[in-house]
Every structure is written in C-alpha cells, then in structure tokens.
A and B are shown apart, each in its own frame.
Chain A
Amino acid sequence: MPKYLLLKHYRGTPEPYRPCPPMDQWAPEDVEAHMAFLGHVGELLKKNGEFVDAQALTPTRTWVRYGGPDAAPVTTDGPLPETSDLVAGWYMIDVESYERAVELAAYVSSEPGPGGGPLYEWIDIREVMSELPADD
C-alpha cells in the first residue's frame, strides 16, 4: 500500500479559500472544537489501520549549508522568511490508493475554523517513495 504525507503549512499554500486570523485570536470554544477535531482525525486513522505517524513542527527555521574546509556552517533564516513555504506538521498515512489519500486530506481540511464552519485549509499531499521495487 502506498504511503502519503498529508502536510499542513504555516504559510506558502495557495490563496486561502477562507482567510482567517491566527488561532490564538479565535473564540475559546472554536479553539477547543478545532483541537478536538484534529485529535479525532488521529484516532480515526488509527482505527482504520491507516495511521503511520503524526508530527508537528515549530515555526522556527534555519537554513544551513557547508561552510567550506575549516569554516563554520553557514546559516540563514532564508531570503524571504515571510513568504517562503513553511511546513507546520503532517499525518503520514498508509492507504489503499491516491484517491483515499485525497479523501482523507479533504476530511482534514474540513476541520472547524472560527465560528465553527469548515476551515477549508489547503493540505499538501506527497507520496512517500518506497525503498525497494515491488516484488512482482
């Protein structure tokens, strides 16, 4: 079965379908509903036997490259830190098909936003390459 990452982004997604403020500015009950939904997604994936992993990333990013012989690594926050793509976290799932991954991503995107309606968040689906050719 193919594995997919369902990536959530802090920024760098297509134009938001439903722009909204950061979560710390939502009504407390909307925050609760949102977090409860994400917990429920994890449980659902486990119950379905589709869950592999879920992780969240802090928004702090450092770009690093080799500095050359006898030089310290070169680091930078990136040339356009406010507009560049920034991943917030992911679910890794192991599913029957690409279609199933799309279905699950759309379900994640239906998470409640401020006011309770769906957030319509863009979810980035990436297939994980398997290490070995299929045995056929």
Chain B
Amino acid sequence: MIDEPTRQLDEGALRALVPRVLAGLVRRGEDFDAAEDALQEALLEALRVWPEHPPRDPRAWLATVATRRLVDARRSEAARQRREEATYAEPRPAATEEGDDTLFLLFCCCHPDLAPASAVALTLRAVGGLTTREIADAFYVPEATMAQRISRAKRALQGRRLDQPGDLAVVLRVLYLIYTAGHVGRVDLAGEATRLARQLTLATEEPEARGLLALMLLNHARLPARLDSQGRIVTLDRQDRGLWDTGEIAEGVRVLQSALAVRHPGRYQVEAAIAALHDDAASAEETDWAQILAWYDDLVALTDDPVRQDPAAVLGRAVAAGHVLGADAGLRETDRLREVLGARHRWHAVRGHLHELGGDLPAAAAAYAEAARRATNVAERDHLVRQAARARADTLRRDRSE
C-alpha cells in the first residue's frame, strides 16, 4: 500500500533528473557501472525521504547523495575519500544542456554490443530512472533476474569507450522496443518511451528521432479506444474515434511535419505518416487508403529486399493494397511473404482480413482460426478466435438467407 505523501511526490520530475545527474558523474570520470549503482541508491533514498523532507535543489541533492555512495564504495582508500568528499560536497553546476546529457547516456545504454533486452533494461534504469523493481514488473520477471540482466549489461560495457558518438539507429530501435513492450501494468512503458524520445529530440536534429516521437504519439493517441471495458481488442475500423487523444494527435502531426520538412526520410517518419493518415480519418470509411498505400511504397523502397529485410512493411502494404486495389491484389502481395512470415499469426490474420474484405467468409474464418492457433499473446488469441467464430456465423447466416 502506498502511503499518501509518497503519492504526492512528483516521480516524473524526479526521474527526469536521472540522466542529468548520471551524465554529470560519468563525465567527471566516474565509472559508469559504479555511478549508475550509486545513483539508483540515491533515487531509492529520495523516494523514501523527499515526501517528508523535500530538498531545495533536487538535482544537487541527488548528485550529493550519489557521490557519497560512490565514496562509501571506496572506503578503503581513506585519504582519497576525504579529498573527494571535500570536492564533491558542493555539486558544480552542469556545464552541459539537458539534451546532451540524455543523448550521451542513451549512447552508453544502447550500445551496439548489447543484446536488445539488456539495452532496454539499462536504458529504463539509467536514463528513465525506473527502479529495478519497476522494470522487472514491467517485463513480468523476478526482480533478481532483472538486477542480474542490468549488471551483466553494465559489465559488458566495461572497457568500451563511452565518449564517442554512438549509433543513433540503435538508440531509436531500443526506444521503439520499449514503446511496443507494453501499455498496461504498473509501469507505463509506452509513456516512458515517449518521454525518452521527446528528450532525444531536444538533443539531435536528426529527423528520424522526431519521426519516432511522432510515431509514438500518433499510435498512443488511439490507445484509449484499443480495448473495450472487458479488455477485448477493438480493431481500428471499429474503434470509437471520439476516444482518441486529439492533443497527442496534434502534437504528433506537428512533430512529423517538422521532421518531413528536413527532406531526409526514414522508416519512422514514413510509419508516422501512415499513422497520421489513420488518425486523420473521421471514420473508417474516410480512411485515405490511396495515400497510405503510397507511403507503404516509400517504406518498402527503403530496403533492397523488403520481403526478407522488412516483411512487416510488405504485410502492411498488402492491407493497403487490398483496400485500394481489391482483396485479390492484397492476397497476392501476402503470397510473396508466405515463406518468410507463413508461420506467424499476423500473416494469417491479415489474410483473414483480406478474405473478409473480398467477401470470402469461409476462407476468412479458416485464416482467423489458423492465426489464433499461432498467436503468442492471450488478448490477440482471444480476438482471433472471436473473429473466426464471427466470420463462420456470418457464413451460416448468409447461406441460410440465400
């Protein structure tokens, strides 16, 4: 049970300080691993102490406590400890801007040598300021497992040079992974990823960073309509569009337009443009599928061999082709993917949708049932079983009326 003062603490503001304090420590020459541990301890201390005794300067407080922890960890070196306590007691004002700190830390945490799951965990802790417990809860693993994953990731970074500009594409991918990891539970990972992407756009002019932020906002805007009151999936064509978050849509469109103005397109900008077209339609019937198809043409053109390198884009294009050129055209497009995606539930689900679009209800029911057998999450499995049962019932009803 959370007591009242804790709830009043602005955790978001607290966590926003984490990258700045950590970057300050690392830039000062502290070991990344040790500094991150020390700051995590300071953060837990802040959550405990601040509700009763709010600090005057939260950032200085965190830096001081983290520094004390670092110093404690080096207690054996008594002389050095005294020197450092004198030096660090007053945190110096940061010379760098907030955005630079975030970018610097994202490059540390989204290092190309780390496995995606490790980069995700490390980013959430070192940049997002989440506790190990919260990250573990978000991914439904025991806290000890997540703690181990994080310390292994940090060990893997030891000896790597962290002062070089990193790979922005990896950073974007990790943030998108965090975004897609889940929208429910105690930790709002989608909201967290959006917050980090927004910080990233303050640090880099690269339009793909803004493309990613726009994509997150434009998809997130539809979240309130994605599930009904019983937790059932509601597909885009049946959603109550009045529930969409118009503020997020407006921000997403604004961010997207500023990215597209740079005229250096990339996959996140294109995907955001597609999301914007869906968000823009007042009803499913008013969806501008022709423009969506044109954007999908751009998306598949970004890779040399889209069927193998970006099958998800080809599958999305198949849906758009089905709406613009007819169900058969869409189905032909999915045929190209049979070898690559034929074992995945989404391929069968898309074919079910296209069969239904073309009026072939028995084929739709069979495809949905096959998709349900291959689904890897309960909500989608249940949704696909319902779709199959509905398509089958519609078949029987149609047969009776004929």
Which of A's residues lie within 8 Å of B, judged by CB?
A: 22-28, 30-32, 35-36, 39, 56, 58-60
**Closest chain B residue, CB of each to CB of A59:** B373
Apart from A27-B393, A28-B386: 20 A-B pairs, beta carbons within 8 A: A22-B369, A24-B365, A24-B368, A24-B369, A24-B389, A24-B392, A25-B369, A25-B392, A26-B389, A27-B389, A28-B389, A30-B389, A31-B386, A32-B386, A35-B386, A36-B230, A39-B230, A56-B378, A58-B374, A58-B376
Number of B residues near A (Cβ < 8 Å) is 20
Q: Which of B378, B382, B386, B389 contacts A25 (CB 8 A)?
A: B389
Question: A35 CB to closest chain B CB, in angstroms?
Answer: 6
Kindly list chain A residues whose C-beta atoms are within 8 Å of the C-beta of B386.
28, 31-32, 35
Kindly list chain B residues whose C-beta atoms are within 8 Å of the C-beta of A31.
385-386, 389
**Closest chain B residue, CB of each to CB of A22:** B369
Q: Which of B372, B381, B389 has the most CB of A within 10 A?
A: B389
Give the 5 A-B CB pairs with smallest separation, nearest first: A24-B388, A24-B369, A28-B389, A31-B389, A28-B390
Kindly list chain B residues whose C-beta atoms are within 8 Å of the C-beta of A32.
386
Binary per-residue interface labels of chain B (290-324) against chain A in the complex, 1 for a CB within 8 Å, 0 otherwise: 00000000000000000000000000000000000
B385 touches A58 (CB 8 A): no
B189 interface residue (CB < 8 Å to A)? no
Question: A67 CB to closest chain B CB, in angstroms?
Answer: 23
B393 touches A23 (CB 8 A): no
Q: How far is the CA of A63 from the CA of B369 in the complex (A)?
A: 25
Kindly list chain A residues whose C-beta atoms are within 8 Å of the C-beta of B365.
24
A-B contact pairs, 14 of them (CB 8 A): A23-B385, A24-B385, A24-B389, A24-B392, A26-B389, A27-B393, A28-B386, A28-B393, A31-B385, A31-B389, A35-B386, A56-B378, A58-B374, A58-B375
Kindly list chain B residues whose C-beta atoms are within 8 Å of the C-beta of A27.
389, 393
Kindly list chain B residues whose C-beta atoms are within 8 Å of the C-beta of A36.
230
**Closest chain A residue, CB of each to CB of B366:** A24
Binary per-residue interface labels of chain B (377-402) against chain A in the complex, 1 for a CB within 8 Å, 0 otherwise: 01001100110111011000000000
Question: B231 CB to closest chain A CB, in angstroms?
Answer: 8
